[in-house]
Chains A and B, each alone.
Chain A
Amino acid sequence: MHHHRAVATIVAKNHLSFARALAESFHSRHPEIPFFVLVADEIGDYFDPSRELFQVVEFHELKVPRFERFRFHYAQQPLTYASTPYLLAHLLARGYTRLIFLKQETLVLGDLSPIFDLLDRTSIVLTPHLVGPLRGPDPIERELNILQSGIYNVGMLGVAATTAGEDFLTWWQDRVYAHCRHATPEGMHYEQRWLDLVPALFDDVHILRDPAYNVGHWNLPDRAVTIVDDAVFVNNEPCRLFRFSGFDVERPSAMTRYSSRLTSDNIGPARVVFERFREALERHGYRETRTWPYAYATFDNGVPVPAVARSIFADMDEAADQFGDPLRTGPGSFFEWLNQGVNGEREKPGGSPVVTRLWHAVYRSRPDLQRTFPDPSGADREAFLAWAVQSGIREHGVSERFVLAPAASQ
Chain B
Amino acid sequence: MSVAVGTIVAQNFLPFARVLAASLRQHHPEVPFVTVVADRPAAACAPGGEPFEVVFLDDLGIPDLRRLCFGYSRQQVSISVKPYLLQYLLDRFSSAVFLDADILVLDSLQPLFDAVRTHAICLTPHFLAPLSGTDRRTRDLNILQAGVYNGGFVGVSEHLSARRFLTWWADRLRTHCRHDVAHGMHYDQRWLDLVPGLFDGVQIVRDPGCNVAYWNLRERASCPPRFFHFSGFEPDRPHRITRYPTRLTRETIPPEAAALFTRYVERLRDEGYFEYRSQPYGFGAFDNGVPIPDVARHIYLDANGDGDRFGDPFAAGGSESYFQWLNEPADGSSGVVTRLWHAVYHRRPDLQLAFPDAFGADREAFHAWIADSGVKEHGVADAFAQ
Contact A185 B181 (CB under 8 A): yes
Q: In the complex the two chains form, what is the Cα distance from A378 to B51 in whole Å?
A: 72
A143 cross-chain contacts in B, Cβ below 8 A: 172, 191, 194
How many chain A residues touch the partner (CB < 8 A)? 38
Shortest distance between the CB of A70 and any CB in chain B (Å): 16
B128 contacts A by Cβ under 8 Å: yes
Contacts of A346-361 to chain B: CB distance below 8 A: none
Q: Which residue of B lies closest to A131 (CB)?
A: B197
A133 cross-chain contacts in B, Cβ below 8 A: 164, 168, 198
Shortest distance between the CB of B229 and any CB in chain A (Å): 16
B125 contacts A by Cβ under 8 Å: yes
Hey, what's the 0/1 contact readout for A343-377 against B, CB within 8 Å counting as 1?
Answer: 00000000000000000000000010001000000
Stretch at the interface among A15-23, A114-122, A199-207, A290-298: A199-207
How many A-B Cβ pairs are below 8 Å?
105
B140 contacts A by Cβ under 8 Å: yes
A129 contacts B by Cβ under 8 Å: yes
Q: Which residue of B lies closest to A199 (CB)?
A: B204
Q: In the complex the two chains form, what is the Cα distance from A147 to B190 in whole Å?
A: 7
Contact B183 A148 (CB under 8 A): yes
Contact B164 A197 (CB under 8 A): no
Stretch at the interface among B20-28, B102-110, B141-149: B141-149
Q: Which residue of A lies closest to B349 (CB)?
A: A367
Contact A152 B197 (CB under 8 A): yes
Contact A200 B126 (CB under 8 A): yes
B1 contacts A by Cβ under 8 Å: no
B198 partner, pick from A130, A144, A152, beta carbons under 8 A: A130
Shortest distance between the CB of A85 and any CB in chain B (Å): 13
Q: In the complex the two chains form, what is the Cα distance from A299 to B165 in whole Å?
A: 53
Stretch at the interface among A52-60, A186-194, A239-247, A263-271: A186-194
Q: In the complex the two chains form, what is the Cα distance from A185 to B202 in whole Å?
A: 27
Contact B175 A196 (CB under 8 A): no
Shortest distance between the CB of A151 and any CB in chain B (Å): 5
Q: In the complex the two chains form, what is the Cα distance from A367 to B141 in whole Å?
A: 26
Known contacts A144-B183, A145-B184, A186-B145: A197-B197 contact under CB 8 Å: no
Shortest distance between the CB of A183 and any CB in chain B (Å): 9
A175 cross-chain contacts in B, Cβ below 8 A: 137, 140
B60 cross-chain contacts in A, Cβ below 8 A: none
B194 cross-chain contacts in A, Cβ below 8 A: 128, 130, 143, 146-147, 151
A184 contacts B by Cβ under 8 Å: yes
B198 cross-chain contacts in A, Cβ below 8 A: 128, 130-133
A131 cross-chain contacts in B, Cβ below 8 A: 197-198
Contact B197 A209 (CB under 8 A): yes
Known contacts A145-B184, A197-B143: A151-B149 contact under CB 8 Å: no
Q: Which residue of A lies closest to B202 (CB)?
A: A207
B305 contacts A by Cβ under 8 Å: no
A140 cross-chain contacts in B, Cβ below 8 A: 172, 175-176
A67 contacts B by Cβ under 8 Å: no
B218 contacts A by Cβ under 8 Å: no
A128 cross-chain contacts in B, Cβ below 8 A: 194, 196-198
B149 cross-chain contacts in A, Cβ below 8 A: 200
Hey, what's the 0/1 contact readout for B38-65 against A, CB within 8 Å counting as 1?
Answer: 0000000000000000000000000000
Q: Which residue of B lies closest to A184 (CB)?
A: B182
B253 cross-chain contacts in A, Cβ below 8 A: none
Contact B197 A151 (CB under 8 A): yes
Shortest distance between the CB of B375 and any CB in chain A (Å): 26
Q: Which residue of B lies closest to A130 (CB)?
A: B197
Q: In the complex the two chains form, what is the Cα distance from A148 to B193 in whole Å?
A: 11
Contact B142 A197 (CB under 8 A): no
Contact B130 A167 (CB under 8 A): yes
Known contacts A175-B137, A200-B128: A185-B168 contact under CB 8 Å: no
Shortest distance between the CB of B193 and any CB in chain A (Å): 5
Shortest distance between the CB of B154 and any CB in chain A (Å): 15
Contact B141 A151 (CB under 8 A): no
A207 cross-chain contacts in B, Cβ below 8 A: 196-197, 202
B206 contacts A by Cβ under 8 Å: yes
Q: In the complex the two chains form, what is the Cα distance from A194 to B204 in whole Å?
A: 17
Q: In the complex the two chains form, what is the Cα distance from A244 to B105 in whole Å?
A: 49
A187 partner, pick from B128, B141, B168, beta carbons under 8 A: B141
Hey, what's the 0/1 contact readout for B168-186 against A, CB within 8 Å counting as 1?
Answer: 1000100110000111110
Contacts of B189-230 to chain A: CB distance below 8 A: 190-191, 193-194, 196-200, 202, 204, 206
B182 cross-chain contacts in A, Cβ below 8 A: 148, 184-185
A387 contacts B by Cβ under 8 Å: no
A170 cross-chain contacts in B, Cβ below 8 A: 130
Contact A200 B125 (CB under 8 A): yes
Among the interface residues B140, B168, B191, B353, which one has the most CB atoms of the partner chain A within 10 A? B140
Shortest distance between the CB of A141 and any CB in chain B (Å): 9
Q: Which residue of A lies closest to B144 (CB)?
A: A187
Contact A196 B141 (CB under 8 A): no
Q: Which residue of B lies closest to A207 (CB)?
A: B196
A193 partner, pick from B129, B144, B175, B197, beta carbons under 8 A: B144
Hey, what's the 0/1 contact readout for B131-162 against A, CB within 8 Å counting as 1?
Answer: 00000110011111100110000000000000
A258 contacts B by Cβ under 8 Å: no
Q: In the complex the two chains form, what is the Cα distance from A124 to B139 in whole Å?
A: 23
Shortest distance between the CB of B160 and any CB in chain A (Å): 12
B366 contacts A by Cβ under 8 Å: no
Contact A187 B184 (CB under 8 A): no
A223 contacts B by Cβ under 8 Å: no
Hey, what's the 0/1 contact readout for A201-233 against B, CB within 8 Å counting as 1?
Answer: 110000101000000000000000000000000
Q: In the complex the two chains form, what is the Cα distance from A148 to B121 in whole Å?
A: 23
A46 contacts B by Cβ under 8 Å: no
Q: In the complex the two chains form, what is the Cα distance from A21 to B124 in whole Å?
A: 42
Shortest distance between the CB of B381 and any CB in chain A (Å): 32
Q: What are 17 residue pairs bridging A and B, where the CB atoms are less than 8 Å apart in the complex?
A: A130-B197, A131-B197, A133-B198, A140-B175, A143-B191, A143-B194, A146-B194, A148-B182, A152-B197, A174-B137, A184-B183, A187-B143, A193-B144, A199-B125, A200-B148, A207-B202, A371-B353
Closest 4 CB pairs of A and B: A128-B197, A147-B184, A200-B125, A187-B144
**16 more CB-based (< 8 A) A-B contacts, given A140-B175, A200-B149:** A128-B194, A128-B196, A147-B185, A147-B193, A170-B130, A179-B141, A185-B145, A187-B141, A187-B143, A188-B144, A196-B148, A200-B125, A200-B148, A200-B204, A207-B197, A367-B353
